[in-house]
Amino acid sequence: MTAIGFIGLGVMGGPMAANLVKAGFEVTGFNRSPAKVQRLVEAGGRGAASAAAAAEGADVVITMLPDSPDVEAVLLGDGDDDGVLDRLAPGTIVVDMSTIRPDVARSLTAAGASRGVRVLDAPVSGGEQGAVDATLSIMVGGDAETFAAARPVLDALGRTVVHVGPPGAGQTVKAANQLIVGGTLQLVAEALVFLDAHGVDRSRAVDVLAGGLAGSAVLDRKAPDMLDRNFQPGFRVDLHHKDLGIVTAAARDAGVALPAGSLVATLMGALRAQGHGDLDHTALLLQVEQLSGRSPAERSARDGK
């Protein structure tokens, strides 16, 4: 049996850790807010009081944390706290499944290598539902032998697991994923406001659009939430804003122009600046409605006249 230390039990990490328990792994988890550790214990895992305690004696350590500084703090240490990397036996595998900067992923792999610890970057796509159903797409950067060794663990979390290249490559592919998802979501939001303004039944429109070239996983999974005005995360605007920052910085480093991507990054940032950082990224709809004077309040005020 492989012992797994799991650090970060939020929207994604919670169900992922529970799936590893279901698959027969021995899972010890830690999260900054303890209620989430309790949920893992109820699912059959063990709880730890610190990241270091969760990682102690593990064969594989998984991190599923919000952003680059969080992963660096946990793995490399922060102030008085030792980093997890310093506590691991040589040969241990660390799989960072958070979405972070590709350059940080590369430096964490190098920091691991200097201690004999093997690090993979393995960000995911598929959202909360994909985490619950263990159907995530997992894009893995790092050494091929380490990927092969970690594969049984990754297979318990996802359906499409692909080794995409050397350290950092997983995060680069994830950045491209976030570019496509952000751009598509914005256009789905615009299409829904456009259809509504023309008095078309939007739910029927989405059904037919889904069967043609405009069909996509984003349309299938996110248009119903937009129509229900359900903006509960899911994937928070704050996190997508972070990801589009990664995309624009990495594009700039490579000398690549992303005209539409840069605009979407600005729109996501504007949504966050208006106080919507904790909503699901489907809240892009609110901003399109606002730009067109078609928020529910504006519409009822108009209809009342």
Please give the backbone phi and psi of residue 262, each rounded to the nearest 5 degrees, phi first.
-65, -40
The residue whose two tokens read 């840069």 is 262
d(CA 246, CA 66): 13
CB atoms within 10 A of CB 305: 4
- In terms of residues, how long is the chain? 305
Among the listed residues 239, 242, 276, 185, the one whose alpha carbon sits nearest the alpha carbon of residue 10: 239
Cβ closer to ligand NAD: 128 or 196? 128
d(CA 179, CA 176): 5
**Between residue 78 and residue 107, which ones bind ligand NAD under the rule CB under 6 A?**
98-99
d(CA 47, CA 31): 9
- Tell whether residue 231 is a contact of ligand NAD (CB under 6 A): no
The binder of ligand NAD chosen from 3, 23, 26, 32 (CB under 6 A):
32
Output the six-digit token pair for 173: 């592919």
- Tell whether residue 64 is a contact of ligand NAD (CB under 6 A): yes
Q: Is 174 a catalytic residue?
A: yes
Stretch that binds ligand NAD, among 25-33, 85-93, 143-151, 264-272 (CB under 6 A): 25-33
SS3 of 94, please?
strand
291: left (phi over 0), alpha (psi -120 to 50) or beta: alpha
The binder of ligand NAD chosen from 65, 85, 206, 279 (CB under 6 A):
65
Among the listed residues 188, 151, 174, 213, the one whose alpha carbon sits nearest the alpha carbon of residue 281: 188
**Between residue 140 and residue 169, which ones bind ligand NAD under the rule CB under 6 A?**
none
Cβ closer to ligand NAD: 37 or 285? 37
CB of 36 to ligand NAD, least distance (A): 5
The active-site residue out of 36, 174, 222, 242 is 174
Cβ closer to ligand NAD: 92 or 99? 99
Sort strands 3-7 and 26-30 into parallel, antiparallel or unpaired.
parallel
Query: HSE of 170 in the Cβ direction (CA atoms, 13 Å)?
Result: 30
CB of 12 to ligand NAD, least distance (A): 3
Cβ closer to ligand NAD: 206 or 237? 237
The binder of ligand NAD chosen from 48, 51, 105, 286 (CB under 6 A):
51
The binder of ligand NAD chosen from 31, 146, 172, 216 (CB under 6 A):
31
- Tell whether residue 15 is a contact of ligand NAD (CB under 6 A): no
Which residues are catalytically annotated?
174
Give residues in contact with ligand NAD (CB under 6 A): 7-13, 30-33, 36, 51, 64-66, 70, 73-74, 98-99, 124-125, 127-128, 234-235, 239, 243
